[in-house]
Structure 1
Amino acid sequence: MSARRWAAGLGGATVLALTAGCGMLGIGGGEDDQSDEDRLLSILNESNRIESELVTAEHRIVQNCLEEAGFTVHEPYSFQAWEAYEQESLSGGYPHEEFLVDAEEAAEFGFGAWADSAEAQENGEAEEYWTLQEEKWAEEEGEDAWVEPDTTEWDALDPGDQYDWYVAYQGVEYTEDMNGTRDQYISMMSEEELTEEEYEALEEGAAEEEVVEDEGEIIVEEEEYVEPKPDGCQLEMIEALYGEPTLVEETYEEEGGGGSYSYWTYRPENPTYGSGEEDTMYDDISADYAAAIGDLQGEYLDCITERGYADFEFDEYGSLPVRMWLNEIYYDGVPEDERMMSYGDDGTELPALPDDMPADYEAKKAFEIQMAVDFGECGEETGYAAASEKAYDEANVKAYTAVEDDLYAWQQDMQDALTKAQEMLDQ
């Protein structure tokens, strides 16, 4: 079935979705009986539904354009279904979940950091652990579990035809930036070895750090990346639904330098999302949560200090960097570039490693398991988990309430785009 014929069935569902219910946001009656969290959850889930339908419509418009140009097989990852995610709480997860795990799981697996060690990777324990975790996640997610798209038809295409599809989809400049030139792509996909000159051509134009020694000081040249403007069928869809795309520049700083990267955006930005250096609602959530839980955090640190885990500090998100610290234990003395798992240097202050830390893997794993048990017991003694959940939930309600009107306006913009998309698909 072509994308155009499939889209014929979208109209009724879309119209019903946009007109369902009554009152603001189509939530219907009974708002007075809802808690603040329930009301906000209804709004967020409505947003998720609208965005899911709009993304699906965008995909169909682009596919129609490609099929009219003769491309009937599509790269599947570019058009993955965006299912409407049903949120059950505003908070989603809690800051304490990184260092307070289920008591039974703590006694058996600790924090699971040992599974990132070289020894666990080599002796097969890591594979067993992650298999169990994946089974647990799949059971929890149920029908919402992500399914790998079928690439059979796409893989059967000639590499040249694949490249031509990319060009028709997003244009020459964008395709070359992502996949190299046509000859380079064909060579790579044909598993033919590239010459040294071809490899250099692939890397040409990429931002590279230049480190220069100047009187003992390391100077790092600033990096800059500008995403090519999308073209082809994707740009046709963007212009039809949203007008001209907008180039957004973000800057960042890191030790010894910094840089910027620019990317194109077109769909109305959800006010609950944050970007770049701008303050976001998540900054407000973290700040309100920290103010509410601060005294109890001190009590909790006192408890784990008495059990031998001194000098831990809560990070800006209200969590403790236990896995990062344990990673240092398992890779003590191993250079950063030789580690099988690395968190990099993000500026987090970590406690010093224990003076009596054993050298063998099994003893380190036993230490981690005992640490997870101790951290959990301190959580029970202080009532930390319950207080943390309450404080975090309240911070989320406050933050989402602050953007409620903006979120409604965003929904209206999205619905306008969805109406345009439906008109295009009905032609």
Structure 2
Amino acid sequence: MLRTTRAAGAFVAALALAATAACTDDAKDGDAPEGAGVTFEAPRLVDMVNESQRLLYELETAEVRIIQACMELEGFTVHDQFWFSVVEPEPQEELFGAGDWGDWIPSVEEAAEYGFGQWAHDDDADPDAVEEYAAYKGHELGDSPEDELALEGGAGGLPDNSEFEALDPQEQFDWYVAYQGEAAALDENGWLIGEEGEVADDDDAVYSGDDFAYEQPEPGGCLREMIDALYGELRRVEDPEGSKSRGAYWEYRPVNPMDDFAKAEDSRAMYDEAIAGVQGELVDCLAEHDRHGWEFDEEGSLPVVDYLYELYEGEGSVVGDHPNLPGDAPADHEGKKAFEIAFAVDLAECGDETGYRETAAQAWADSQEAFYVSIEVETYAWQEEIRGILTKAQEVLES
């Protein structure tokens, strides 16, 4: 991570209150290049993010303990562990990593050796070459560290739910009724007793006014008892007016400033604006290498994976907006791998020639740090509110 980054002046000016609390007053001359805006210290923001994650984990754990105690008072001693499983977060050392901004352009050296690594997923790939590439990447192919964590249910693995699953369907349904009330239990788990819950499946309809595709039942049962004890009230949250499959849902926790999607969109717009020029330069560079027709997608990257998937799986195997493969694209595995590597080298060289990597990395650092600075004041206030709720939770558990 870029340990000290610059937030663009115009964006920070719009966030003056947060910036006043966040900026360092003693930045020395030469700390940032000419034209850089206010200098911010990323480590402080990392600490803020980690503290928010820690508090949220403690809060979720306390909620589960209160609900479980309520359930057991009602005679339920075997529980659906998926509702009671809380994964302890790993402390972050950085606000973001290269993969967050889409570090999809390999170095020239890596490209010349392995291309993009898509060849390794081909059934005809040499097993020894696949094993070598997997060792280079440091994990099993197809399973990134993030994927493995998700599949295992976090650091502790998936909870053992066999005891609950051994109950008959009516017993399971009764548990859900006690957990969240009959209406919510029917909505989500009515299938256990032959009842169908509501679904929002009319993707073509547009809803407005009081007309909803789906309205979540108000929670009851022990879940509601916990909500009443810790939060006092529910909030009914509606999807934006006129959206498709519009729904209404219930929330009760204080809104985490990190979930401020409007400010997150502002930071994304800041990033997109900062890299628009170099994106054009990268596409032009590819055209100079006789790689025509490339355009950046909404995620801010080139649809390389879709392009190569079609190379290996055949035309029409993937729906995506990418250039057509050349008419003389190879048909055998080794030919396809060579094609992939040559393309990867061209892209990597263009990444070097245009300075795309450095520009994108700095733009992402600036935009993300600007986002965290913009919510800093609100986040510290939210953390204090959560600490107060945790104190109340301890009193509930001791009563």
TM-score, scaled relative to structure 1: 0.70
Equivalent position amino acid for 2:205 in 1: E
Shift of 1:126: 9.8
**Pairs aligned (count):** 352
Q: Distance between the aligned counterparts of 2:331 and 2:241, measured in 1?
A: 39
Equivalent position amino acid for 1:86 in 2: P
Alignment partner, residue 264 of structure 1? 250
Q: Distance between the aligned counterparts of 2:282 and 2:230, measured in 1?
A: 52
Equivalent position amino acid for 2:42 in 1: E
Which of these residues, 95, 105, 108, is aligned with residue 90 of structure 1? Answer: 95
Q: Mark the CA change 1:288 to 1:166 in structure 2 (over 3 Å): closer, same or farther.
A: same
Which of these residues, 331, 340, 343, is aligned with residue 368 of structure 1? Answer: 340
Report the 3-state secondary structure (helix = DSSP H, G, I; strand = E; otherwise coil) of the residue aligned with 1:272: helix
Report the 3-state secondary structure (helix = DSSP H, G, I; strand = E; otherwise coil) of the residue aligned with 2:247: strand
Instruction: Kindly report which structure 2 residues correspond to 1:107-122, keeping only aligned pairs within 5 A, or say none.
Output: 107=112, 110-113=115-118
Q: Distance between the aligned counterparts of 1:240 and 1:314, measured in 2?
A: 50
Equivalent position amino acid for 2:305 in 1: R
Q: Distance between the aligned counterparts of 1:354 and 1:251, measured in 2?
A: 44
Which of these residues, 207, 212, 226, is aligned with residue 200 of structure 2? Answer: 207
**Preserved contact between residue 102 and residue 300 of structure 2 (Cα < 8 Å):** no
CA deviations over 1:329-386 (Å, ceiling 9, x no partner):
455554xxxx6xx6x67xxx43344333345565444433332232223223333223
Shift of 1:98: 4.9
Unaligned runs of 5+ in 1: 1-29, 185-200, 211-219
Shift of 1:267: 0.9
Unaligned runs of 5+ in 2: 1-23, 28-38, 208-212
Q: Distance between the aligned counterparts of 1:132 and 1:105, measured in 2?
A: 18
Shift of 1:107: 4.8
Q: Distance between the aligned counterparts of 2:260 and 2:110, measured in 1?
A: 34
Shift of 1:138: 7.8
Shift of 1:399: 1.8
Shift of 1:405: 0.9
TM-score, scaled relative to structure 2: 0.75
Report the 3-state secondary structure (helix = DSSP H, G, I; strand = E; otherwise coil) of the residue aligned with 1:147: coil
Alignment partner, residue 388 of structure 1? 360
Instruction: Kindly report which structure 2 residues correspond to 1:101-140, keeping only aligned pairs within 5 A, or say none.
Output: 101=106, 106-107=111-112, 110-113=115-118, 132-133=140-141, 137=145
Shift of 1:84: 3.1
Shift of 1:424: 0.6
Alignment partner, residue 151 of structure 1? 161
Equivalent position amino acid for 2:141 in 1: Q
Q: Mark the CA change 1:399 to 1:329 in structure 2 (over 3 Å): closer, same or farther.
A: same
**Preserved contact between residue 271 and residue 407 of structure 1 (Cα < 8 Å):** yes
Instruction: Provide the alpha-carbon RMSD of the alignment.
Output: 3.8
Which of these residues, 40, 45, 51, is aligned with residue 46 of structure 1? Answer: 51
Equivalent position amino acid for 1:62 in 2: I
Q: Mark the CA change 1:410 to 1:107 in structure 2 (over 3 Å): closer, same or farther.
A: same
Q: Distance between the aligned counterparts of 2:188 and 2:326, measured in 1?
A: 46
Are 1:221 and 2:205 an aligned pair? Answer: yes
**Preserved contact between residue 56 and residue 82 of structure 1 (Cα < 8 Å):** no
Of 413-422 and 350-359, more deviation after overlay is shown by: 350-359
Q: Mark the CA change 1:110 to 1:158 in structure 2 (over 3 Å): closer, same or farther.
A: farther
Alignment partner, residue 414 of structure 1? 386
